[in-house]
Amino acid sequence: MKIFTFDTTLRDGTQGEAVSFSVDDKLVIAQKLDDLGIDYIEGGWPGSNPKDEDFFKRAAELRLRHAKLTAFGSTRFARNPVEEDRNVRKLLDSGTPVVSIFGKSWELHTRRALGVSEEENLKLISDTVAYLKAHGREVVYDAEHFFDGYTASPDFALRTLEAAKNAGADVLCLCDTNGGTIPVRLEEICAEVRKRFDGILGIHTHNDSDVAVANALAAIEQGFTHVQGCMNGYGERCGNANLCSIIANLELKLGHTAIGSDKLAGITTVARFIAELANLQMRRDQPYVGQSAFAHKGGVHVSAVMKDSATYEHVSPATVGNHQRVLVSDLSGRGNVLYKLEQHGLAKRLARGARRELLERIKQMEYEGYELEAAEGTFELLVREALAPGTHFFDVEGYEVSTKVVGTDSRSTASVNLKAQDGVHTATASGHGPVNALDVCLRKCLSALYPRISDVRLTDYKVRVLDSKKGTAAKVRVLVEWSDHRKSWSTVGVSDNVIEASWSALVDAIRLELMRLTEQDDSVERAVEDYCWGV
Ligand SMILES: [Zn+2]
């Protein structure tokens, strides 16, 4: 059956504590959601803030091929006739073909929050729906707090739906606004509503009980055909129902059509793109679309997955545009590394001794606290060094760095001694902080010999304490992200001295770049990408 997908990432999703989109971001996201085949895109609440109002003004720039843009708002204020209500006016002014409006289903809210009688509440709903219908809009009626309202008083809650339905609402959408309902209870209530109302019923759930997706699916099992949610489960408090998981489950588990199987293969890309725009780390373990969703680490799992991926994967990762990843780790023994190298034709290029040495080195580094899965640059360097054992660009003879602080002014100076093929190079430089000073120094030493290393620049720097019990004497892992305009990668260093760990990550990045400049080796790059990112 066709299930209509209603995305509210741009409205309810932005209620999430860490989520913020500019108007430009919102426009780009709307376009992506349209490409993905989402049926409705709720763009915002024009009556609530100027940013959302601006979004609808600029929405004319969008070229939506499939989705219907939707504006969100509340039923009219009790004191205003509907045609004079500012909020309702803004909904019409936004010019969207669809309007979703929420009304009260819970006696408690009607009395306490609105301070109106039951009859007045019903009038607010029917007036607003009828007015929007009279202006040619498709109307989605969001029954706010429906499940709590129904539990308190089924008759009261059902009468509000009736008011919306009789006024011409196209969709009656039941909302678990507080996210407190669990699937068995939600399913019972949905079944009762289904018995009484024909036409399109919708479901909007929040994740406060960690069952928002299950709740949405439970409603669909009861014949609901309109489902609301947010990409990556963004939203207020614990988030909205994660639309990525809902769509994948509908398509792959329940035999429904939400966006269609072709579009489904694009969902991972869109989910990650939105996380990127939101400047939020994508949850690695997010079902279906996360980086770890099809990652295998345990040795037994890996060898089974290598024989038949169905042994440890509930669906094929390709169906959602994700990829299987086999992780290198001390847990999994040598199988994983070999698997990756073999897959890309590299194993046979390694001498027997070099292969064993590489595996031992990886094992030892992971034991010391290196996390190679997140540092594809360091891993690539290890593989390249094993493939070309004679290649050596420089040796570090020594380095020194000091920071002088006077008042609020701080200045770091470093000096580095390197031995390269044409002799010893020495440089001194200052920088913004010790790591920057060392970075500048290292490049100064090498730039005459290898001018192209200037293309590599540091884009992110993270420090993680590995054994927090030791306080400031703890071992740290430094992860540095680099980019050369073409691609980006990370290198890692581990030490109980943060400068030493940073230096090691720094030197790895430069060595790697030199290796890459000397010998282009696509199969190494592919093997590394495959293992680290699963692409
Ligand atoms: Zn909501």
Distances (CA, A) of 134 to 68, 73, 120, 137, 258: 19, 17, 21, 7, 30
CA of 480 to the centre of ligand 1 (A): 38
CA of 371 to the centre of ligand 1 (A): 38
Which residues 6+ apart lie within 8 Å of 437 measured at CB?
401, 412, 413, 414, 429, 430, 431
Distance CA 45, CA 316 (A): 38
- Three-class DSSP labels, 478-506: EEEEEECCCCEEEEEEEECCHHHHHHHHH
Cβ atoms of residues 70 and 6 within 8 Å: yes
Q: What average pLDDT does range 363-380 have in this prediction?
A: 80
Distances (CA, A) of 262 to 12, 47, 259, 319, 369: 27, 37, 8, 8, 41
CA of 264 to the centre of ligand 1 (A): 24
CA of 187 to the centre of ligand 1 (A): 18
CA of 235 to the centre of ligand 1 (A): 8
Write the DSSP string, 156-193.
HHHHHHHHHHHTT-SEEEEEETT----HHHHHHHHHHH
Q: Is the pLDDT of residue 465 over 70?
A: yes
Q: What average pLDDT does range 171-181 have in this prediction?
A: 98
What pLDDT shows up at residue 299? 63
CA of 415 to the centre of ligand 1 (A): 57
Which residues 6+ apart lie within 8 Å of 274 measured at CB?
9, 29, 32, 231, 232
Query: CB within 5 A of ion ligand 1: which residues?
Result: 12
Residue 282 per-residue DSSP state? P
Distance CA 309, CA 307 (A): 7
Here the tokens at position 284 are 């690695």
CA of 102 to the centre of ligand 1 (A): 10
CA of 183 to the centre of ligand 1 (A): 17
pLDDT interval class at 531 (50, 70, 90): low
Closest-CA residue to 335 (of 316, 315, 314, 307): 307
What pLDDT shows up at residue 535? 34
CA of 347 to the centre of ligand 1 (A): 52
CA of 67 to the centre of ligand 1 (A): 20
What pLDDT shows up at residue 520? 76
Coil/strand/helix, residue 390: coil
Cβ atoms of residues 530 and 509 within 8 Å: no
CA of 137 to the centre of ligand 1 (A): 21
CA of 226 to the centre of ligand 1 (A): 15
User: When comparing pLDDT for 6 and 445, which is higher?
Assistant: 6
Q: What average pLDDT does range 382-401 have in this prediction?
A: 89
CA of 247 to the centre of ligand 1 (A): 18
How high is the mean pLDDT of the chain?
Answer: 90
Coil/strand/helix, residue 143: strand
pLDDT (tens digit per residue) in 200-223: 999 999 999 999 999 999 999 999
pLDDT above 70 as % of the chain: 94
CA of 367 to the centre of ligand 1 (A): 45
pLDDT interval class at 498 (50, 70, 90): very high
What pLDDT shows up at residue 332? 46
CA of 400 to the centre of ligand 1 (A): 56
Closest-CA residue to 139 (of 147, 149, 129): 129
pLDDT (tens digit per residue) in 306-358: 778 888 899 999 999 998 887 755 444 456 667 777 767 787 888 878 888 88
Terminal alpha carbon distance of the chain: 33
Distance CA 26, CA 183 (A): 32
pLDDT (tens digit per residue) in 435-448: 999 999 999 998 88
Q: What average pLDDT does range 277-304 have in this prediction?
A: 84
pLDDT (tens digit per residue) in 409-424: 899 999 999 998 888 9
CA of 205 to the centre of ligand 1 (A): 7
CA of 12 to the centre of ligand 1 (A): 6
Q: Is the pLDDT of residue 64 over 70?
A: yes
Does pTM surpass 0.75? no
CA of 343 to the centre of ligand 1 (A): 46
CA of 252 to the centre of ligand 1 (A): 26
